[in-house]
Amino acid sequence: MSRSIISFNIQTDIKNRLSDMAKENGLTISDLMRMSAMQILSRGIKIEPNYEPSDYLKNAISEGERDLAKGYLFSVDSHEALSAYTDKLTR
């Protein structure tokens, strides 16, 4: 089996933590990373983004909640009407 080298940069504290973890299990960092790579290949990987609403969206939600609390209800019959309404919201 031919081998290849993969090199990447990582913060020193993370490298040290990985090294400690590898030593505790009688492995090297290379062993640990090779095992991790095989696990990713066999199980796949799911990276979930961190969804944080934009300030615009937060303001639009707050405006809508204030309107609802005041009894202002708004309905639209097209995406153009919705766009016109949301364009008026505080950004």
pTM: 0.48
Residues 53, 65, 50: CA angle, nearest 5 degrees: 15
Domain ranges across the chain: 12-43, 55-88
User: In this predicted model, what pLDDT tens digit does every residue of 7-50 receive, in sequence order?
Assistant: 999 999 999 999 999 999 999 999 999 999 999 999 998 888 87
Predicted confidence at residue 81, as pLDDT, reads: 86
